[in-house]
Amino acid sequence: MTMHKPLREVAAALLVAVATAPAIADTTEERRRRGDAVIRSLNHGQPQQVLERMRQEFPFLADATEAYALGDVWSRPGLDSRTRQLAAVAAFAAIGQTAFMKVHAGYALNIGVSENELKEVIYMVTVPAGFPRAIAASQALSELFAERRSARPGGGRTSP
Amino acid sequence: MTMHKPLREVAAALLVAVATAPAIADTTEERRRRGDAVIRSLNHGQPQQVLERMRQEFPFLADATEAYALGDVWSRPGLDSRTRQLAAVAAFAAIGQTAFMKVHAGYALNIGVSENELKEVIYMVTVPAGFPRAIAASQALSELFAERRSARPGGGRTSP
Amino acid sequence: MTMHKPLREVAAALLVAVATAPAIADTTEERRRRGDAVIRSLNHGQPQQVLERMRQEFPFLADATEAYALGDVWSRPGLDSRTRQLAAVAAFAAIGQTAFMKVHAGYALNIGVSENELKEVIYMVTVPAGFPRAIAASQALSELFAERRSARPGGGRTSP
Amino acid sequence: MTMHKPLREVAAALLVAVATAPAIADTTEERRRRGDAVIRSLNHGQPQQVLERMRQEFPFLADATEAYALGDVWSRPGLDSRTRQLAAVAAFAAIGQTAFMKVHAGYALNIGVSENELKEVIYMVTVPAGFPRAIAASQALSELFAERRSARPGGGRTSP
Amino acid sequence: MTMHKPLREVAAALLVAVATAPAIADTTEERRRRGDAVIRSLNHGQPQQVLERMRQEFPFLADATEAYALGDVWSRPGLDSRTRQLAAVAAFAAIGQTAFMKVHAGYALNIGVSENELKEVIYMVTVPAGFPRAIAASQALSELFAERRSARPGGGRTSP
Amino acid sequence: MTMHKPLREVAAALLVAVATAPAIADTTEERRRRGDAVIRSLNHGQPQQVLERMRQEFPFLADATEAYALGDVWSRPGLDSRTRQLAAVAAFAAIGQTAFMKVHAGYALNIGVSENELKEVIYMVTVPAGFPRAIAASQALSELFAERRSARPGGGRTSP
């Protein structure tokens, strides 16, 4: 499954491209479909597990995450995906939301951001938000990097 | 003074290039000089007024901002300046530090980030940090854009 | 204009009633229209000035506030308007967003919440969020109450 | 013990009614007794375990919680218990205090608030405080609902 | 009025000494009196203006500040006043409550803390809470120091 | 190892004394050495484990913590160590960083601050930051006190 990564990424990117830009005539059904395409483009073609579990008991919250957060915001064309992911990682780390930071850092790795760039964003967070938030984020990144390495056949590093 | 912008930006970029990367043998004097070069590269060759005022009464805080925040963190080569500024704008907006966000959004414009990209980062902030923080940031950006337009001869827009 | 208040409130309530509940087939246009009806029902039939100003430069943020925050969330039928406004006032006060708290406290007064109930919510905020946030909220409420009194012919109190 | 719920709630409500309103002549002993009555009225007649554990090592903090938070604030008559609990749930969720939110959501269920109303408050929290805080709160609510169902004989839902 | 400072401080200290330690039999009236003595001991024998204004419209909040925050917490004998004020200044600065930090930094100066010690606390805040909060606190301290100097006959510095 | 505590503390204090005050000509190597001496003076002569683990994957963050946070800020002579630790405990507790608060409360105990003084700082935190943050801090302190008692031969209390 990890073999044809470039192909899968191209496919995912196409899904997003196909998903039309937000428009006033869009139905919520279309916005959710666009959000689903965004997640798959960031998540190796897979849906988001947390989102799917939330759907059972908190359907509105799952729909809002999918249609608004992903379908409306994350699908906007004015910012490239790399920059949006790095800015999101900075924002989640600065407000102390390390679990969300870890998810979005994973998406960033999936679309080609390097481990190094993620570390640099975390170093930067010491300035606006202090050392505890940067250190907590570094620990979540360490976990993420370790999970990725143990999940990969050779167990090596993805990027410097 | 606003005429030879491209030239000034090249000069500022050179200043940063000349500033050697952080090293264990660096003295605080060298780190501060590197921080000063970073500020000038982001600020049309000018020093930072707030920093200069702070130096009178809070010398350590001014030095720490210059040597650590700017000289150590902001001068690191692992992240391009555009991405660092957009990530910083996201972080400052997400934690509600709109005055700092405005300063760093201004630096972002100075190095070629478009108004549109800044708006997109702010739209994204609604998701991690809620609508009030994004709206406060949008108001600070509006002020910044207006100040820039009124400061320019023709008073037109810099970028879409 | 302040004379037929009961009538205006009934009319506003009807506007909301007419606005159909959120559905998967809703277009963003319909969601925005529903958001506009929500605001008018809370704001003596008037649109929200801040929202209108934001629309010029940050159209997506204005649309998201109208379509998502108001049209999707605030229009949900599962919570009565009084309880939602008091819970929103508690949330805005607890996170230190006093300007938003003031706006929503004003909406609360408009739909019949008493000044006293708003004060009680603010007293409660000392427990989860500490005294500075409750005191800041009390000062914003004082301003709101004063503005209301000076805007009214007799200048008296609305409610105990 | 879970059988005569209505009776127990009436008894608990009476305890609060009997507890006299705060007065300038109240001793701290009386304020603590009133706080104890408030907790029992919200907690099926039981004291609060966390509070009792805290009393050993942090007696002042336990006393302040009981006498000030519960005896002074939570016992005030100006707000009905349902509204105070829903406003408190909104405040705790908005500031990211999910453990406290869960306790107060449990009290809310105990005095007749429906699961649905709690969900609506959490949906609302996306607007002032962003998606991560609302999602964290939804997960704490899910745990609470599951604990309640597994504790009940039939294991069914309390309310829609 | 600024002439017999040492005498006034001794008198204020006596007021606190006379105020008996918190006890279970204390009435709220006694707790408020103790809170009033604490304020006067920190404020050159004067009451707190903000508190007095709050009393008109938010009597419970004023009473809670006086009886709980000042009468119960600030009057506790287990911590000397200097340490409590410096710890409070650190806490208020770290959470971004600069107006409250300024008030408590003023109390600290009144009881003999030096300007230098206040600056050191603010420098420390860069580590837990980041540079923006420390810089905002430094600006509030600058205002405080300037107000003190302009209020004094010679206009000189209080302490290094 | 816990036997010659007074001697070890004197030695650690000397290490700090030997470490020269921050100066403009200091190299980062010297600043890091000074930071290492600060940690050992607070930590019974031992290095900080968290810092050492961080060094593998986030070298800049470990260096910045050591050279800036400890070597520049914590080594400043303008504030005695007891006051700095108590102010830091207040700041970490107020912003909800309980893990960092626990580490710094442990350092405070190591240099002779009493358990009681730590409790008083936490009681104070209810006022600026609310009850949940103070209660969370009290639970972290309880863990710390218990760990210290179980690590000591007699298992008794260090200080009242």
Tens digits of residue pLDDT in E105-144: 999 999 999 999 999 999 999 999 999 999 999 999 999 9
Average pLDDT over all residues of chain A: 87
Q: How far is E124 from chain F (nearest CA, A)?
A: 6
Q: Which residue of D has its CA nearest to A53?
A: D139
Instruction: Determine the Cα–Cα distance for residues C142 and C136; give it in Å rounded to an integer.
Output: 10
Q: What residues have CB less than 8 Å from F65, skipping those under 6 apart?
A: A131, A135, F35, F51, F54
Residue corresponding to tokens 């008991």: A57
pLDDT at position C11 over 50: no
Q: Which of D115-124, E113-122, F19-28 is predicted least confidently? A: F19-28
Nearest to C123 among E61, E69, E95 (CB): E61
Per-residue pLDDT tens digits of chain B, which is 160 residues long:
343 455 545 444 444 444 445 678 899 999 999 999 999 999 999 999 889 999 999 999 999 999 999 999 999 999 999 999 999 999 999 999 999 999 999 999 999 999 999 999 999 999 999 999 999 999 999 999 999 999 877 654 444 4
Q: Convert the pLDDT of each residue in F55-113 to its tens digit.
A: 999 999 999 999 999 999 999 999 999 999 999 999 999 999 999 999 999 999 999 99
State how far residue D87 is from chain B, nearest Cα, in angstroms.
Answer: 18
Size of interface C-E (CB pairs under 8 A): 35
Q: What local confidence, expressed as pLDDT, does residue D23 receive?
A: 76
Q: Tell me what the mean pLDDT of segment D79-97 comes to.
A: 98
Contact B127 A73 (CB under 8 A): yes
Chain segment F125-135, per-residue pLDDT in tens: 999 999 999 99
Which pLDDT tens digit goes with each residue over D98-113?
Answer: 999 999 999 999 999 9
- Give the tens place of pLDDT for each residue, A31-56: 999 999 999 999 999 999 889 999 99
On whether the CB atoms of residues A84 and A65 are closer than 8 A, the answer is: no
The rounded distance, in Å, linking the Cα atoms of D42 and D89 is 14
Beta-carbon separation of C69 and B142 below 8 A = no
pLDDT of amino acid E21: 53
Task: Sort out which chain B residues have CB atoms less than 8 A from D132's CB and list them.
Answer: 128
Burial class from Cβ neighbours inside 10 Å (0-12, 13-18, 19+) for residue D45 reads middle
Q: CB–CB of F93/F137 below 8 Å? A: yes
Cα(E105)–Cα(E143) distance, integer angstroms:
11
**Does the beta-carbon distance from A127 to E128 stay under 8 Å?**
no
Which tens digit of pLDDT belongs to each residue from D4-57?
A: 455 555 444 444 444 445 678 899 999 999 999 999 999 999 999 889 999 999
**What letter would DSSP give residue E19?**
S
For residue D143, pLDDT beyond 60: yes
Q: Is the pLDDT assigned to residue A20 strictly greater than 80? A: no
| Closest residue on chain F to B65 (Cα) | F68
pLDDT at C22 (0 to 100): 60
d(CA A48, CA D51): 39
Burial of residue F93 (CB within 10 Å: 0-12, 13-18, 19+) is: buried
Residues in A touching E133 (Cβ below 8 Å): 130
Buried b (16+ CB within 10 A) or exposed e, B25-60: ebbbebbbbbbbbbbbbbbbeeebeebeebeebbeb
**What's residue E47's pLDDT?**
93
pLDDT at res. A64: 97
D44/D36 Cα distance (integer angstroms) = 12
The reply to whether residue F128 touches residue C132, judged by beta carbons under 8 angstroms, is yes
Q: According to the model, what pLDDT value does residue C6 have?
A: 52
End-to-end CA distance of chain F: 23
Q: How far is E88 from chain B (nearest CA, A)?
A: 20
| Statement: residue F9 has pLDDT above 80 | no
ipTM score of complex: 0.85
**What is the mean pLDDT of each successive set of 10 residues along chain E, which is 160 residues long?**
46 45 83 96 94 95 97 96 98 98 98 98 98 98 97 59
What pLDDT score does D24 carry? 82
Contact residues, chain E, for C130 at CB < 8 Å: 95
Note the pLDDT tens digit of each residue in A78-113: 999 999 999 999 999 999 999 999 999 999 999 999
List of chain D residues whose C-beta atoms are within 8 Å of the C-beta of residue E28: 22-26, 31
Q: Are the beta carbons of B135 and C60 separated by less than 8 Å? A: no
The set of residues, in sequence order, having a beta carbon less than 8 Å from that of F37 and lying 6+ positions away, is F12, F15, F16, F18, F19, F75
Nearest to F117 among E78, E82, E94 (CB): E78
Which residues in chain A are contacts of C31 at CB distance < 8 A?
A: 28
In this complex, do D119 and A92 lie within 8 Å of one another by their Cβ atoms? no
DSSP structure class, residue D36: H
In the structure encoding, which two tokens stand for residue E131, read together? 């540079």
Read off the pLDDT of each residue in F37-54 and give the average, rounded to a whole number: 94
β-bridge mates for residue E27, sequence order = D27
Helices (H), E19-157: 28-42, 49-57, 59-64, 81-94, 98-110, 115-129, 131-151
Contact list in A for residue D135 (CB cut-off 8 A) is: 50, 54, 61, 65
| Residue pointed to by tokens 């100097």 | E149
Q: Encode chain A in three state secondary structure.
A: CCCCHHHHHHHHHHHHHHCCCCCCCCEHHHHHHHHHHHHHHHCCCCCCHHHHHHHHHCHHHHHHHHHHHHHHHHCCCCCCHHHHHHHHHHHHHHCCCHHHHHHHHHHHHHCCCCHHHHHHHHHHHHHHHCHHHHHHHHHHHHHHHHHHHHHCCCCCCCCC
CB within 8 Å: A24 and C28: yes
Question: Residue F109 is encoded by which pair of tokens?
Answer: 């105990």
pLDDT at A2 over 60: no
Least confident segment among A112-126, D9-23, D127-141: D9-23
**pLDDT > 90? residue C2:** no
Which residue carries 């001794």 as its tokens? Answer: E10
Of F122, F131, F145, the CB nearest to D69: F131
For range A138-157, the mean pLDDT: 86
pLDDT of residue E6: 52
Contact D58 F142 (CB under 8 A): yes
Shortest distance between the Cα of A35 and any Cα of chain B, in A, equals 13
Least reliable range by pLDDT among A139-148, F22-31, F36-45: F22-31
Of C27, C68, C73, the CB nearest to A25: C27
Task: State the pLDDT at residue B21.
Answer: 53
A with B: how many residue pairs have Cβ under 8 Å apart? 100
Rounded mean pLDDT of A115-119? 98
Per-residue pLDDT tens for C28-64? 999 999 999 999 999 999 999 889 999 999 999 999 9
